[in-house]
Amino acid sequence: MALMKGASFVCRALEAEGVDYIFGYPGGAIMPFYDAIVGAKFKHILARHEQGAAFAANGYARASGRVGVCVATSGPGTTNLVTGIADAFMDSVPMVAITGQVRSHLIGTDAFQEVDIFGITLPIVKHSFLVRNVNDLPTVMRDAFRIARTGRPGPVLVDIPRDIQEAEADLKLLPRDLEVERPPAPSKESVDKAVQLLKESRKPVVYAGGGVGMANAIEEFRGFIQATQIPTVHTLKGLGTLPYNDPLFLGMLGMHGFKQSNLAVQECDLLICIGARFDDRATGVLAKFAPNAKVIHMDVDCSEVGKLRKAEAGIAGDIRPALKAMSFPLPQIAAWREECLKNKQAYAWKYNAPGDGVYVPAMLKELADRADDKTIITCDVGQHQMWVAQHYGFRRPEHHLTSGGSGAMGFGLPAAIGAALSRPDCRVICVSGDGSIMMNIQEMATLKRYNIPVKILLVDNQALGMVRQWQELFFAKKYSEIDLSDNPDFVRLSEAFGIPAFFLRERKDVPRAIDRLLNERGPLLAHVSIEQAENVWPLVPPAKSNAEMVIGDHNK
Amino acid sequence: MSFTLHVRLKKAEGALVRLLGQIGRRGYDVLGVRAELSADRKAFDVVVDFEPFMPVPPAVQQARPAEVLPALVAKLVEVESVELRGPGSSATKAAAPAPKSKAAAGKAGDMHFVDNE
């Protein structure tokens, strides 16, 4: 019998899972683990804040499809992970968060750096463990990774008291049970019903979400669209499921969706929702969403089917065989398809904003046109995030890393770090705003330390732009706490971190800036100054249906 | 209108709190709870009386259908079985077999829920 410390076993379990990077920050209650990782097969990336570590693990997982791992000590270390864990929960990202806890006998005594992170995170994890016995570690570690990546992925918390990390026991790795990890096949009755609805439909629309990519169903999805020739709209997280240059790609739907997308949904007679969840940003007023449509709802998570909208056919489980069964020609929809494609042409964005200043939609379109197939874009949250979704054309969903459900400012830069490490074959560009970048600016130090070749495209309007836009449109231009005109000099700030940077303001300088972003080695920051008055259009006002969108100034 | 959820729950760290949290957080008001530990002390039999939260005007949302809850509860790792019992015939009908067996959460296949609009 070979005894092993709990902390050493956790390291061996991570190695056995094939983990190559973990992201964390040490502290008192997690010190045995940090002692054990010296010489481990995986590399530890020292973030400069635990939130940065959580978002980096999150970005690592989103870009690669593998489980991301973050580590923190007890108390404030764990609470700093919370936003990253919540983000992973909202966007179904496979992640394992390992946290140190005070010694078992101190739990519940308000000990130094004791926080009930198990209780705090209950609503934002797929599952969680508080390890009470060192002999439970083999089961806990195997199950944590299985639960994180199986079915609808999500974050799992493993909280390990310090004495459990230090305890010795005869601990052996448990094998993975691949059968348990396979999603169940959908019922034949549900697929037959969907086939019948497709045959009866004259005006179908596919509404595709992030669940398609997560189910590894891109090939089957594209085969389904190719066979049926159904016009397709995407959620924020579904972008790239169908390549942006596919004729049947109508664009994003919802609050900042394109007119042709929202019109198609409002007028369709059959809505085929695949890996999406009728999120309020996509539907607007739910009761007025796709008012004339029957619904086929396909999702690996059966609890999503019918949660918010009745489904005439609900297909729960592995969507791939169902998509194959539904892939046949629909000659009766030709006129409808032509109508949708005409609308797509009529409402195509014109990129004709007046003036000499940088026009972000045009800059992002040029960036997409010139970047190759192996470019990953991470975003922060706000106006720039919506411009990326609307105007950067994606070819794969895992090339678009955005905080969709939780909308967490500060996501972009650390997520880019994780993405760059998990996909060294890809170029990674973080598009951020002047509000968002400051929320995790400390991770510039992480970029520098590990010389991670992330490019940052910082769009600066010296304001919290999306809040400003809403105050302009819906709060009678009464601007409240959105001014960021005292921003630091971002070029000098970047250089202080040891990262080269440059500034641009004029439209004519955009091609050269993109040259640098695409071609220079190592990390780089481009600081782009834009007009504050530039807003995101189209926009569906609050409490309105998607049919009542406002188009804005430049695209009339 | 109140409903009753019968849940078989593996005894594990935080399992009861997680169950009640899931019910409350998803839009249902817990009216009563009875939990009994099994003879082998490995599971709880939990009975939860609840009703959907009734939004107060001018809120635009509708009350959540009770029939949606079993699938949401069945997602919890510790839940071994779940059954909805309601006061009316429609709710009883919709107490469709909850998707269970952790390996196969999602076997519910085609499900027909009440319209929430």
Domain range summary for chain A, segments of one domain joined by +: 4-181, 188-346, 360-533
Q: What is the dihedral of CA A211, A212, A217, A220, to 10 degrees?
A: 150
**pTM, to two decimals:** 0.94
Strands (E), A52-101: 68-72, 95-101
Q: Is the peptide bond before A186 cis (omega within 30 degrees of 0)?
A: no
- Amino acid identity of residue A465, one-letter, is G
Distance separating alpha carbons of residues A71 and A89, to the nearest angstrom: 17
Which CATH superfamily, name and number, covers A188-346? TPP-binding domain (3.40.50.1220)
Q: At how many degrees (to 10) do helices A465-474 and A383-391 cross?
A: 100
Equal CATH topology for A4-181 and A360-533: yes
Distance separating alpha carbons of residues A66 and A229, to the nearest angstrom: 32
pLDDT at A543: 84
**Residue A368 neighbours by CB under 8 Å, 6+ apart:** A244, A391, A392, A393, A394
CB A410 within 8 A of CB A356: no
pLDDT category at B116 given cuts 50, 70, 90 is: very low
**CB-based contact (8 Å) between B35 and chain A?**
no
CB A494 within 8 A of CB A501: yes
A147–B106 C-beta distance less than 8 A: no
B107–A314 C-beta distance less than 8 A: no
**CB-based contact (8 Å) between A187 and chain B?**
yes
DSSP character string of B28-64: EEEEEEEEEE-TTSSEEEEEEEEEE--PPTT--PPPP
A193–B106 C-beta distance less than 8 A: no
**CB-based contact (8 Å) between B10 and chain A?**
no
Q: Is A400 helix (H, G, I), strand (E, B) or coil?
A: strand
**Residue A475 neighbours by CB under 8 Å, 6+ apart:** none
pLDDT category at B117 given cuts 50, 70, 90 is: very low
Report the top-level CATH class of A360-533: alpha beta
Backbone angles phi, psi at A227, to 5 degrees: -75, -40
Report the top-level CATH class of A4-181: alpha beta
Pull the structure tokens for residue A506.
Answer: 């004029």
- Give me the residue spans of the domains in chain B: 3-100
A132–B109 C-beta distance less than 8 A: no
CB A221 within 8 A of CB A243: no
Pairing of the two strands A501-504 and A155-161:
unpaired
B68–A313 C-beta distance less than 8 A: no
Determine whether A450 is exposed, middle or buried from the number of CB atoms within 10 Å of its CB (0-12, 13-18, 19+): middle
Strands (E), A37-106: 43-46, 68-72, 95-101
Question: Tokens 């090939």 — which residue?
Answer: A219
pLDDT at B88: 52
**CB-based contact (8 Å) between A520 and chain B?**
no
A317 vs B61: which has the higher pLDDT:
A317
Domain B3-100 of CATH type 3.30.70.260: yes
pLDDT tens for chain A, 556 residues: list them. 789 999 999 999 999 999 999 999 999 999 999 999 999 999 999 999 999 999 999 999 999 999 999 999 999 999 999 999 999 999 999 999 999 999 999 999 999 999 999 999 999 999 999 999 999 999 999 999 999 999 999 999 999 999 999 999 999 999 987 777 788 999 999 999 999 999 999 999 999 999 999 999 999 999 999 999 999 999 999 999 999 999 999 999 999 999 999 999 999 999 999 999 999 999 998 989 999 999 999 999 999 998 899 999 999 999 999 999 999 999 999 999 999 999 999 999 989 889 999 999 999 999 999 999 999 999 999 999 999 999 999 999 999 999 999 999 999 999 999 999 999 999 999 999 999 999 999 999 999 999 999 999 999 999 999 999 999 999 999 999 999 999 999 999 999 999 999 999 999 999 999 999 999 999 999 999 999 999 999 999 988 899 899 887 666 5
Residue B108 pLDDT > 60: no
pLDDT at B106: 36
Pairing of the two strands A313-316 and A270-274:
unpaired
Task: Find, in chain A, the residue whose alpha carbon is nearest to that of B115.
Answer: A310
